[in-house]
């Protein structure tokens, strides 16, 4: 099994459908319909990941998230809050901020595309295992990008070349991972759902613990600008080591990566 997942959601149809998706991909899934059941299952099963809805019949998921993260027995378990709050963008953004404030590792909206769900689950579990495992001799590369297909293709290409690859689709998650896993190289897109990649680069390059980690900015952002060179100027001003335009084939990017890691 790739890992054990505890899904906490009072929607029986959703639990059943999502469990099938995850089990088909090799995950062991246990479920709970409310906070009381979740606490019992948490102690019994010791999952590698928790998928949590905020609308529970006996307790709100935000508070349960904080409760788990403040328990020394469970705080290392990553939590993905997966919920349906509103169709309005502003309310979704507000819910995400609350989730992160309550120490959730990631936030996603229902309904979620199965490919995105698997990518998030894989990223959270592998990130957690990497942080808590012994140091590896393999060069570590961190991808910070919201394009899950791109990250998946690069993971396949790099792991075949004996690299250790970790991924995240948020800027805040990226900063946290850099400081915990100390990668040899960071590959980042400036377009992220929470904070822009330029700001992430500036923060990492301003920190004496992370300033020497090379950063490659790989993006299609230039196609959205009337003056494409402006993105390169921004990248240089934020101390990016190399600016690379998408689309780029995995083997081409691999050559660039060999220069730094």
pLDDT in tens, the chain (261 residues): 689 999 999 999 999 999 999 999 999 999 999 999 999 999 999 899 999 999 999 999 999 999 998 888 898 899 999 998 756 666 667 788 888 889 899 999 999 999 999 999 988 998 787 666 545 578 899 999 999 888 888 888 888 888 888 888 899 889 988 887 789 999 999 999 999 999 999 999 999 989 999 999 999 887 766 676 888 898 999 999 999 998 888 889 999 999 998
Give the other-Cβ count within 10 Å of 145's Cβ: 24
Residue identified by tokens 């004996």 is 162
CA nearest to 63, candidates 54, 73, 76: 54
Model pTM score: 0.54
Asked whether 14 and 20 are in contact (CB, 8 A), the reply is: no
Collapsing DSSP to helix, strand or coil, 101 comes out as helix
Alpha-carbon distance 258 to 102, whole Å? 39
Alpha-carbon distance 217 to 69, whole Å? 33
Give the other-Cβ count within 10 Å of 28's Cβ: 16
Predicted confidence at residue 203, as pLDDT, reads: 95
- Helix (H) or strand (E) run with residue 31 in it: strand 28-32
Alpha-carbon distance 139 to 134, whole Å? 14
- Phi, psi angle pair for 79, to nearest 5°: -125, 125
Q: How far apart are the first and last CA of the chain?
A: 31
Alpha-carbon distance 133 to 117, whole Å? 24
Structural domains of the chain in order of their starting residue, each with its CATH number: 4-121 (3.40.50.2300), 136-260 (3.40.50.2300)
Tallying the residues shown for the chain, one arrives at: 261
Predicted confidence at residue 206, as pLDDT, reads: 94
Predicted confidence at residue 231, as pLDDT, reads: 83
The reply to whether omega before 163 is within 30° of 0 (cis) is no
Alpha-carbon distance 212 to 140, whole Å? 14
Alpha-carbon distance 231 to 210, whole Å? 23
């Amino acid at each position: 099994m790739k890992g054990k997942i505890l899904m906490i959601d009072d929607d029986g149809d959703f639990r059943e459908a999502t469990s099938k998706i995850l089990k088909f991909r090799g995950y062991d899934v246990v479920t709970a319909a409310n906070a009381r059941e979740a606490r019992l299952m948490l102690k019994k099963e010791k999952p590698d990941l928790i998928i949590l809805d905020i609308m529970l019949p006996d307790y709100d998921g935000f508070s349960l998230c904080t409760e788990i993260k403040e328990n020394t027995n469970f705080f290392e378990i990553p939590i993905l809050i997966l919920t349906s709050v509103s169709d309005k963008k502003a309310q979704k953004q507000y819910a995400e901020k609350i989730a992160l404030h309550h120490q959730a590792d990631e936030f996603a909206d229902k309904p979620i595309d199965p490919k995105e769900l698997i990518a998030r689950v894989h990223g959270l579990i592998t990130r957690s295992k990497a942080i808590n495992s012994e140091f590896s001799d393999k060069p570590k590369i961190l991808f910070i990008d919201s394009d899950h297909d791109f990250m998946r293709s690069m993971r396949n290409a790099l792991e075949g070349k004996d690299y250790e690859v970790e991924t995240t689709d948020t800027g805040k998650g990226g900063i946290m991972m850099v400081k915990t896993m100390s990668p040899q190289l960071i590959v980042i897109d400036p377009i992220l759902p929470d904070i822009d990649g330029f700001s992430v680069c500036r923060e990492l390059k301003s920190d004496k613990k992370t300033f020497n980690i090379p950063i490659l900015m790989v993006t299609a952002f230039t196609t959205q600008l009337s003056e494409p060179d402006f993105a390169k100027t921004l990248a240089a001003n934020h101390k990016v080591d190399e600016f690379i335009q998408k689309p780029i084939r995995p083997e081409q990017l691999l050559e660039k990566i060999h220069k730094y890691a």
